[in-house]
Every structure is written in structure tokens, then in C-alpha cells.
Amino acid sequence: MRAFLEGSKAIANTVSLCRPGVISAYPITPQTHIVEELAQLVADGKLDSQFVNVESEHSAASVVLGASASGVRVFTATSSQGLFLMAEVLFNIAGMRLPIVLTCANRAISAPINIWNDQQDSVSLRDCGFVQLYAENVQEAVDFHLLAYRLAEHKDIMLPVMVCIDGYILTHGIETLDMPEKEKIDKFLPAYQAPYKLDVDNPLTLGFLADPDYYTETRFAMQETHNEALKMLPELFADFSSVFGRNYQCVEKYRLEDAQKAIVAMGSVCGTIKDVVDELRKKGKKVGLLKISALRPFPMQDIYNALKGIPRVAVMDRALSLGSLAPLYSEIKSIFFAKKKAPKIISSFIAGLGGRDITAESIKEIFRQLNQREVVGKFIDLKAELLQDKL
Amino acid sequence: MSDSIKKTLFASGHTACAGCGQSLAARLVLEVCGPNTIIANNTGCLEVFSTKYPESAWCVPWIHSLFENSAAVASGIEAALKFLGKKQNINVICQAGDGGTGDIGMQALSGMWERGHDILSICYDNEAYENTGIQRSGLTPYDASTTTSPAGAQSFGNPRPKKPVPEIANAHGIVYVAIASVGYPQDLQKKVKKALSLKGPKYLQIHVPCPLGWGHATELTYQIARLAVQAGLYPLIEYENGELVSSFKITPKPVEEYLKLQRRFRHVLNNSEEIARIQETANKNIKKYNLVVKNN
Amino acid sequence: MFGPIIAKPGTSRKNKTGSWRTGAKPKFLQKDCIACRLCLILCPEGCIEGTQKNSFHCDYDYCKGCGICALICPKRDIEMISEEK
């Protein structure tokens, strides 16, 4: 069904059709429109769900933890500081193997406080055990939620999934999309059958103390399950395609076949990069894009295959690892360590922090800089004049 | 092992210290709750000594997540049961020690009370972070020596009175707030039963001596709990909808009788000024809660 | 898939904490018992049982020897005796 909708509304209405029994969230910009819409659907009797208004993100995550442990499908959403306040609970949810789906409306991190988009929040939590999917546009944002529930609740996976969508750009942007219909969602996403839960008829104990005799194996199992999820995702994407007719992959190769230069990026900026690639291609430049849709599990083999024959690669991070290499860059770079087939140059660019626009010109500048020798941690569109100010 | 021991819902074989007041209280609580109960437990002694993988002492569904969030986890459980249409027949409990209740867990607990969930919150009050090595909490009593409020040349131990969590609970307008003690098990079980009979958020705070942390002989757990009550330092009171509906009557004993059995108060025993201050706390309780039956 | 780590109810019973006792254990004399049940109610291990007068006893597999039962017995019908190792 074609629709022209705000991203948050599209996501909320799709999540609603997934029938979460418990929803809990705490207000933070720019995530709010999603849960406001869900609250309204519950208030209007269109969604049978318990909407729990809590006093913090820590409790929002804890409420969905408790509800998920009771065998019910759940949903929560947050951004930025809210995600960080949840952080302790998120590691716990993953360790307890509860299939929670969380939308992260990506936003910059304080200080200074900034409500605009970058990806420092979710990227900083890439090690929390959640699967992380990054959406390029509203259509993907919507579709990834369906894939998220399906993957999370698979009995061989039982890991939580974070759907990362760029704040404002995808939460408040209005786009034309195909809204998934209820019948198709019901076909793709069966009701959740918890393999373990809090049940008075089968009184299990969940949430143990594990001493050195057991702890390592719990973490090993999570690592193995991420590998399994990586193997399973192509099947799920194929299944999704057969129901909804839209194709996804862990990485999307955009005009990479004969590319001499490529940018690697995640999220909404990929749309802009595609436009620039098309424009440059028209002028005969052999450029392309590698879009990373799954940061966790990290599709290393796919990335290797996609980039191994491309001489010059730029990795664009919208996040930082202060004091070291940019996060996505260091992971991409490590894939090619000591590999015979590898790009000659893998350069690192940081752009779009705290909501600064990444324009077509910014992207062209990155392609231009790929003509030079390898650069590491180059900030794009830096305002040199501001840096003159001293205390 | 006989059938009756097998039937207890809080099983033997847990690794609490000998004479632990908290393990005793947990069993007494669970006896009243029965099998149709789901428990969310904060991190703390009770969690650690009852669920060291792969062994669990719990015979009801039980979950531990973090130090501060059992009230929120229980809120999620209660919401899920409502969604499933199962809440009618199932008790939901969140429980914690005094630190998990009154310090780090206060925010989540306040949120749960304010939202009106049908949950009984229980604080097993052993008056310090015993699990991490007897550090001071907001519920550590005045003058108690702990590892982070030690007595010394310039210190009489903890410089602050106990945080009044029951009053904070009452300020939320919840249906039931009560204080109990393992020194009075019948009263304790009566209060659990009462709490579970009422819909909405409930708070029960139970005084549970800790032989290790308080520095008393393991066999004295029961007596010490009773002496705290009898001295007026731990009034057994009960509120319904904010109204004081009962207070356990005592014939007051001097606070020294309670203090002198515990190493944590050893440094004040020869200090009449400090004893007088502690006695003052007891006297205030006696007056405020009308703990003494007046003849004629 | 290993994990999450979950367990069946009451599995702690495998853990015989009776080995913790250091020196003393309760002896239920079963002479003057009035079946007040105080020992049973107040055992932190939940390992005392009995119904009739002079029927109360504990499970030494779990008794940690805290001594609460002996101290609170109103008839002094439980005494702590030295453990014969």
C-alpha cells in the first residue's frame, strides 16, 4: 500500500501491526513521535497493548525486559543519552537472551548537548550484544523492524535487535513508501513463542550469578549466535523478498562493479552518496558506494568481497572513537590486514556530527581526497575559523 | 530429605551465611505467597546466595536483572500478565535489600508506585551493603560502624539517621505500607497476606539481622531482631492508604540492650551522649507511633 | 545454543550446605517438645521438620549449625552439641 508518511508514523504503524503486548518508553528527541503514535493507537483501541510510561530510559528498558521474560513481544525506542542510560540494561537484555526490538533514533551525544543527528550513540554501544541494523530511508526503517522481530525471536537466535535510524532525517522526514500490509506481516512474522519464560506452571529461574566456571561459555554462545545470525540473515532477506517484494542484504553494493573509488557508509547519507555516484558516473567517473546495513553481526566476508578489487576506498564515519581510529574505519581496515587482495588506499573521513549536513559537495570532496595518499581520521567540512577561538 | 522439606518454595542448599535473617525472611514471605507468584529480585545478598548457577533455591518463577531495576522489571511482568489476561491469579513481587530499595533502586521503585502497578515491593533491610562487604547505605542506622562509615578517633560511625523509605512510599499514596521483622514472624506473615489481598502497589520493609555485618553470634538473629522492636528502634507499623492502622505495642527496653550485642555499635557503648541520641530516636518512634499501651 | 543460563526450581538442594558446620550441631532431644514450631519457623535453612510433640528434627545435609533453634526452644529441648567428625 503506497503511502506518504512521516518516518516515525510509518514505523509506529508497522510496529503496531507486529502486535507488541507491552510497549515502554521515556521521552527523548527525536524518538518521541514513534512512541506518541503508538500511545495514540493504544488510546484509540486500535492496538491491544500495555503502554507503560516510565520515569527513565533505564526503566523503559527494564520494563520491556520483564515483559519479554514473561513471554510477550515488546517494543521500546530511544535516542542518544537515553540509549546510554539504557546501556546497562541493554547488555543485560542481550546476556539474558531476550528478543527485544528497540528503535534508536540516532542523535549526537552530550556535551555539548545537541539534539541533531549523528551515529555516536548506537555505534558506541556496538558491543552490547544487540544486532544492529542501519536504515537508509523510511522504507528500510519500516522493513527492518519486521526483519528485527523475525530474527530476534528465532529460537536459534534469541538476541535483541536495535534498528538504527538517523534522527530527524528518518524520524521526521516524510517519504513515499510501501506500507507493509497486515496480512503480509502476519504471514512473515508468526506470533512469538518464547522458548523460556516466567511461568507459574513451569517456574524457571532466570538471571543467574555465573562464576568463572560458566561465564565464558555464556559470552562464547552469544558470539556464536551472532555468527549464526549472519548466516541466517540472507535467508530472512529472501523470505522477506518473497512476501513483500523488496530486497535487502547485510551490505548493498551500489555501482561497484568496475569502480575505482568507493565510499563505505551507513544510514541515510547513503541516499545522498547514491545521487553523487550517479552524477559522477554520468561524467564517466568510476565511483560507487558500499552501504553497511548490519553493523552487528559485522558482515566481514561480504565487505571483503565487495571491496577487495577497488583500489581506493573511503570509509565515512558519523561517529568517533576518541583517541583512536574511527569505529567503522578501524573495522573495515582490519578486514584487509595482511590480505593480498585489498584496496591500495583505505582512507578515513568523519562527517555529519551533531547534525551538520553532509552535502553532495562534502561527498565529492571525499572522492577528490581519495586521489591523494591514505588519510586517517580526516574531518570533512571542519570550520577552521571556529578553532581559532581560545579560552 | 523428607517431603515437607521438599515442598518449601525457598529451597535449602542456598549459600546464605549461617544465621542469615534475610534467608529466613525470604522463606517466611514465600510461604504466604504460594506458588502463583512471580518474583523480580535486585542484585544483592539474597540474589547471590539463592541463584549461583546452576543451582536455584527458588521454586516460583524468579528473575534477576540488575541492582536497581527490579521494580521496573516487575512492572513489565505485571504489564505482560495484564496483556495475557493472567494478572488476576498471580502475585507479582519485586524485592531488594536496603541499598537496592532505598538508594540505587529508589527511582525505579518510585516510578512503579506512582504508576499504580499491582505489585508488592519488599525491602529486606539489613541496614548496609552486606553483599559487597558491609558498606553504609541510606538505611544504615545512626552510629553504626560500617566499612565505609567506620568508627574512629573522629567518627562515631554513620553520621545520619535511617532514610524513611516507608514514609516516602506513603507519600506516593499507595494502598499499603508496613514494617515487619523476622523477630516477629507471625506479624510478618500476616502483613504479607494483607498486602497480597490488596490491589495496587504495596511496600513491606522487613528488618533482617546480618550476623556477619552487624557482628553478632549466628544464634542471636531472632533475639536481636526482637530487641530492635522492643527498644522502639524498629517500630512494626502498618498503613492503609496513608492511614496508620496498627502499631505493634511494646514495653520499651533501653536501646543498650539491643546495641550491646552487636559489634557495629561497640564504639558507642561507653559513650552516654551517643547512647542518649540513639535512645532519643527510639523515644520519638514510641511517641510518634504510639508504641506503648498506657494503663488507665 | 548454550545460554541463556536458566534452571529448574529448587536445584539448590543439590548443594549440601551441612558441610559448612564448624564444630556444633543441634541435637533434638525430643523429650519436652511442645510442638510450638518455633525452631521450624525460624530456621534460615528451612531444614527443620516435624508436626507432633517430640517429632521435630533437622536435615543435617543442610543445617549450617547457626544455633537459632537451640537458643529459641522454650523448653530447652534442642541443644548444640559438638560435632563428631
DSSP for A16-58 reads HHT--SEEEE---TTTHHHHHHHHHHHHTTSS--EEEE-SSHH
Inter-chain contact B11–C20, Cβ cutoff 8 Å?
A: no
Amino acid residing at A277:
V
Of B59, B81, B107, the CB nearest to A203: B59
Inter-chain contact A62–B51, Cβ cutoff 8 Å?
A: no
A385 contact partners, CB below 8 Å, separation of at least 6: none
Does residue B217 belong to any structural domain of this protein? yes
Contact yes or no for A369/A378 (Cβ under 8 A) = yes
Confidence (pLDDT) at A161? 98
Domain boundary among A228, A244, A260: A244
Neighbours of A327 (CB within 10 A): 20
Hey, what's the torsion of the CAs at A90, A96, A102, A108, to 10 degrees?
20
Cell of A69: 521474560
A292 bridge partner residues:
A251
Tell me, yes or no, whether A344 and A214 share the same domain: no
* Count of pairs with CB atoms under 8 A, one residue in A, one in C: 39
Neighbours of A10 (CB within 10 A): 26
Q: Is B269 helix (H, G, I), strand (E, B) or coil?
A: coil
Of A156, A206, A220, the CB nearest to C4: A206
Confidence (pLDDT) at C23? 87
Mean pLDDT by runs of 10 across the 296 residues of chain B is 73 97 98 97 97 96 98 98 96 98 98 98 98 97 98 97 98 98 98 98 98 98 98 98 97 98 97 98 97 78
Report which of B273, B139, B261, B159 is spatially closest to residue B206, judged by C-alpha positions: B139
Question: Mind listing the pLDDT tens digit of every residue in chain A (391 residues)?
Answer: 899 999 999 999 999 999 999 999 999 999 999 999 999 999 999 999 999 999 999 999 999 999 999 999 999 999 999 999 999 999 999 999 999 999 999 999 999 999 999 999 999 999 999 999 999 999 999 999 999 999 999 999 999 999 999 999 999 999 999 999 999 999 999 999 999 999 999 999 999 999 999 999 999 999 999 999 999 999 999 999 999 999 999 999 999 999 999 999 999 999 999 999 999 999 999 999 999 999 999 999 999 999 999 999 999 999 999 999 999 999 999 999 999 999 999 999 999 999 999 999 999 999 999 999 999 999 999 999 999 877 7
Confidence (pLDDT) at A124? 98
Does residue B295 belong to any structural domain of this protein? no
Residues of chain A found within 8 Å of residue C7, distances taken between Cβ atoms: 204-205, 208
Q: Give yes or no for residue C52 having a pLDDT over 60.
A: yes
Confidence (pLDDT) at B2? 64
Domains of chain C in sequence order: 33-85 (3.30.70.20)
pLDDT band at C83 (very low <50, low <70, confident <90, very high): confident
Residue B275: which CATH number? Answer: 3.40.50.970
Confidence (pLDDT) at A390? 76
Report which of A315, A308, A306 is spatially closest to residue A253, judged by C-alpha positions: A306
Confidence (pLDDT) at B6? 63
Tell me, yes or no, whether A84 and A208 share the same domain: yes
Tell me, yes or no, whether A231 and A262 share the same domain: no
Tell me, yes or no, whether A151 and A27 share the same domain: yes
Q: Is A206 helix (H, G, I), strand (E, B) or coil?
A: strand
Which chains have at least 3 CB atom pairs separated by less than 8 Å from chain C?
A, B
Tell me, yes or no, whether A376 and A231 share the same domain: no
Residues of chain B found within 8 Å of residue C65, distances taken between Cβ atoms: 18, 218
Locate all alpha helices (DSSP H) within B144-232, ordered by sequence: 165-171, 185-197, 221-230
pLDDT band at C4 (very low <50, low <70, confident <90, very high): confident
Does residue B296 belong to any structural domain of this protein? no
C15, closest residue in chain B (CA to CA): B13
Q: Region C14-18: what's the mean pLDDT?
A: 96
Q: Does A199 touch chain B (CB under 8 A)?
A: yes
Please give the helix or strand (H or E) that residue A95 lies within, else none: helix A80-95
Measured in whole angstroms, how far is the alpha carbon of residue B2 from the centre of its chain?
A: 30
Q: Which domain holds residue A280?
A: 251-388
Of A156, A214, A224, the CB nearest to C5: A214
Cα–Cα distance between A242 and A244 in angstroms, integer? 6
Tell me, yes or no, whether A383 and A280 share the same domain: yes
Q: Region C12-37: what's the mean pLDDT?
A: 95
Tell me, yes or no, whether A78 and A179 share the same domain: yes
Cα–Cα distance between A311 and B7 in angstroms, integer? 71
Q: What residue ranges in chain A does DSSP mark as E strands?
A: 2-6, 22-25, 50-53, 74-78, 101-106, 131-134, 161-166, 174-178, 205-206, 251-254, 261-265, 287-292, 294-296, 312-317, 345-350, 378-379
Residue A112: which CATH number? Answer: 3.40.50.970
Does residue B294 belong to any structural domain of this protein? no
- Å from C8 to nearest chain B CA? 7
A94, closest residue in chain C (CA to CA): C4
Query: Cell match 571483503: residue?
Result: A304
Q: Does B45 touch chain A (CB under 8 A)?
A: no
Inter-chain contact A206–C1, Cβ cutoff 8 Å?
A: no
Q: Give yes or no for residue C84 having a pLDDT over 90.
A: no
Q: What's the structural domain count of chain A?
A: 2
ipTM for the predicted complex comes to: 0.97
Tell me, yes or no, whether A121 and A231 share the same domain: yes
Tell me, yes or no, whether A124 and A181 share the same domain: yes
Q: What's the structural domain count of chain B?
A: 1
B122 bridge partner residues:
B95, B204
Inter-chain contact A217–C7, Cβ cutoff 8 Å?
A: no
Cα–Cα distance between A225 and A159 in angstroms, integer? 8
Q: Is the pTM here over 0.95, yes or no?
A: yes
Which chains have at least 3 CB atom pairs separated by less than 8 Å from chain A?
B, C
Q: Which domain holds residue B12?
A: 3-288
Inter-chain contact A205–C9, Cβ cutoff 8 Å?
A: yes
Tell me, yes or no, whether A66 and A192 share the same domain: yes
Of A206, A214, A222, the CB nearest to C6: A206
Q: Does C58 touch chain B (CB under 8 A)?
A: no
Of B15, B16, B221, the CB nearest to C68: B221
DSSP H helix total and E strand total for chain B: 11, 12
B78, closest residue in chain A (CA to CA): A67
Tell me, yes or no, whether A178 and A260 share the same domain: no
Tell me, yes or no, whether A74 and A207 share the same domain: yes
Cell of C4: 541463556
